[in-house]
Amino acid sequence: MRLEAAARMDVFRKLWAARKLIVVVFIPLSLLPLPLIHPTSEACCAYVLMVTAVYWVSEAVPLGAAALVPAFLYPLFGVLKSSEVAAEYCKDTTLLLMGVICLAASIEKWNLHKRIALRMVMIAGAKPGMLVLGFMCCTVFLSMWLSNTSTTAMVMPIAEAVLQQLICTGLA
């Protein structure tokens, strides 16, 4: 009895470790009857949309890779021509957001957000009003050159680092 429960737990652990791979393989295969039974461009578009949504929500693949799934599958299923898909991906706003997200990722990689957060806590202290003022000034400064969405993408890691800093110092 005990051996059987241990074997079940071992199988469960192995499945849990491979959950992302299972999602990446199982979801497209399980949804494949949709475009096969109804071979219309609408059904193919719905298939691509559902696969992309599951990848995005489950984070089975990185978000950037999940965002590129339609770029490959729309031409493959004949929903759109590759030139039309490329035109949609290369719009000014899309490229701006991609650049800002890359910038935010590099800020996180090199721990610049922690430095900014530590400096903000040192200057403003642990007073909530002063921290809010610090965030407002930081956001206003970034908003002078970036869009609001881009600014939010850059300020979020700083806010998380400030919160972590306050928790580590016992001020939160």
- Distance (Å, rounded) from C-alpha 61 to C-alpha 12? 21
Give pLDDT tens digits for 77-103: 999 999 999 898 888 888 877 887 788
Residues 48 and 104 in one domain: no
Domain closes at, from 48, 69, 89: 89
Residues 77 and 40 in one domain: yes
Question: Is 101 within 8 Å of 63 (Cβ atoms)?
Answer: no
Residues 19 and 75 in one domain: yes
Residues 79 and 116 in one domain: no
Residues 156 and 104 in one domain: yes
Q: What share of the chain is helix, strand, coil (3-state, %, to 5)?
A: 85, 0, 15
Residues 9 and 78 in one domain: yes
Single-letter amino acid code for the residue at 71: A
Single-letter amino acid code for the residue at 95: L
Grouping H, G, I as helix, E, B as strand and the rest as coil, residue 130 is helix
Provide the number of structural domains found in the chain.
2
Question: Is 45 within 8 Å of 79 (Cβ atoms)?
Answer: yes
User: C-alpha distances in angstroms, 36 versus 30, 82, 153, 163?
Assistant: 11, 21, 39, 50
Residues 63 and 101 in one domain: no
Residues 13 and 80 in one domain: yes
Question: What's residue 102's pLDDT?
Answer: 82
**Mean pLDDT for all residues in the chain:** 83
Question: What's residue 3's pLDDT?
Answer: 66
Residues 43 and 82 in one domain: yes
Residues 8 and 85 in one domain: yes
- Distance (Å, rounded) from C-alpha 14 to C-alpha 60? 16
Q: Which of 3-7, 22-26, 42-46 has the highest mean pLDDT?
A: 42-46
Whole-prediction pTM: 0.60
Strand stretches in the chain, DSSP E = none
Question: What's residue 172's pLDDT?
Answer: 63
Domain closes at, from 89, 122, 149: 89
Question: What's residue 72's pLDDT?
Answer: 93
Main-chain phi, psi angles of 87, to 5 degrees = -65, -35
Give pLDDT tens digits for 36-71: 898 899 999 999 999 999 999 988 888 888 888 999
Question: Is 151 within 8 Å of 143 (Cβ atoms)?
Answer: yes
Question: Is 86 within 8 Å of 130 (Cβ atoms)?
Answer: no
Domain closes at, from 57, 89, 121: 89
Question: What's residue 167's pLDDT?
Answer: 83
- In which domain, by residue range, is 160 found? 96-169
